[in-house]
Amino acid sequence: MVGFVSFVGSGPGDPELLTLKAVDRLRRADAVLFDDLSSGPILDHVNPSADLVGVGKRAGRASPKQDHVSRLLVDYAKMGGRIVRLKSGDSGLFGRLEEEMIALRRAGIDYEIIPGVPSACAAAAAAGIPLTRRLTARRVQFVTGHDASGQLPPDMNLDALSDPAASTVLFMGKRTLPLLTKALFKRGLSPETPAVLAEAVGTNEQAITRSTLGALAAQMEAGVGTKPALVLYGPLADMDAVEAD
């Protein structure tokens, strides 16, 4: 009998941010294929008898290719049982979800998608700021900082990304931030634009740095470190300053 796959969004890493449905699927799973950022204490919810298979991909490290991950997922599902594909954040945001869904469909395997807390929302919460602000930030945009080759995507909508009235969240963009900001500043975005670097959100290594976009770009040019991170920039509220006003 062919198995059933649950794509589970694990949130940013804090097991307390898992949904009840996510915990249920982990407890009932016969096998869990998990990303690096979905490991650690989140896996404590998994049935002890389940197979645990690490399939995470991290920039700058040896990682399994996406076609290998998709093929492995299909192979496990063909053996039957309940399979969980555990992805960090929300699996529909820069999580290669579509490719794995296509592989399952072609193999005739049913699946469900269980949303998770997006890392962008968790980062804003950790920084104590809203992503939207009445009158000054009516639009939020999520964008990846690199393409499949690890480089800055050549077709980015730079006009939209330099909009001073939009809150922008840059995923996987530490290495390409210096190059991106040079293009944005040429289009008129101020280097003094408020920015937040949110590293390892939802883990014991979480670090939140409030800065400006120009200063963060200079910091990344000097060295990016190894922690996974998001960059948020735009009309971000400094709540202490707002309260003082």
| Domain stops at, among 89, 114, 139 | 114
Average pLDDT for 79-100: 95
Determine the average pLDDT of the residues in 72-97. Answer: 95
**Spatial distance between the Cα atoms of 6 and 137, rounded to a whole number of angstroms:** 35
Q: Are residues 106 and 131 in the same domain?
A: no
Q: Which of 85-99, 124-138, 159-173 has the lowest mean pLDDT?
A: 124-138
How many CB atoms neighbour CB 175 within 10 A? Answer: 17
pTM for this model (two decimals): 0.88
**Angle of helix 66-78 relative to helix 97-106, nearest 10 degrees?**
40
Is the domain of 161 the same as that of 207? yes
CB count, 10 Å around CB of 199?
20
Structural domain boundaries, residue 40: 4-114
The CATH number for 94's domain is: 3.40.1010.10
Q: Are residues 100 and 133 in the same domain?
A: no
Among 57, 78, 227, 238, the active-site one is 57
Judged against a pLDDT cut of 70, whether residue 63 lies above it is answered with: no
Edge-to-edge order in the sheet of strand 51-54? 51-54, 31-34, 82-87, 4-9, 111-114
Total domains, the chain = 2
Whether the per-residue pLDDT at 52 is higher than 70: the answer is: yes
Q: Which of 58, 81, 114 is the last residue of a domain?
A: 114
* Model confidence pLDDT, tens digit, residues 211-239: 999 999 999 998 888 889 999 999 885 54
The residue out of 114, 130, 149 marking a domain boundary is 114
Q: Does the annotation count 155 as an active-site position?
A: no
CA distance 72 to 75: 5
Based on the domain organization, do 141 and 110 belong to the same domain? no
Q: Do residues 77 and 192 both lie within one domain? A: no
Residue 162 has pLDDT above 60, yes or no: yes
Shared-domain flag, residues 123 and 235: yes
**57 in active site:** yes
pLDDT (0 to 100) of residue 245: 46
Instruction: Quote the percentage of the chain above a pLDDT of 90.
Output: 75
pLDDT at 40: 87
pLDDT in tens, 168-200: 999 999 999 999 999 999 999 999 999 999 999
**Torsion 157-114-1-66 (CA) sign:** positive
Which pLDDT does position 241 carry in this prediction? 47
pLDDT reported for residue 239: 46
Same structural domain, 104 and 129: no
Whether residues 90 and 166 share a domain: the answer is: no
Instruction: Provide the pLDDT for residue 161.
Output: 96
Output helix, strand, coil percentages for the chain, rounded to the nearest 5. Answer: 35, 25, 45
Could you say which of 35, 87, 90, 174 is catalytic?
35
pLDDT at residue number 225: 83
Please, what is the average pLDDT of the chain? 91
Answer yes or no: is pLDDT of 122 > 80.
yes
Task: Note whether 99 and 156 are same-domain residues.
Answer: no
Overall average pLDDT of the 162-173 stretch? 94
Name the DSSP class of 44. Answer: G
- Model confidence over 132-149: pLDDT tens digits? 988 788 899 999 998 877
Do 103 and 142 share a domain, yes or no?
no
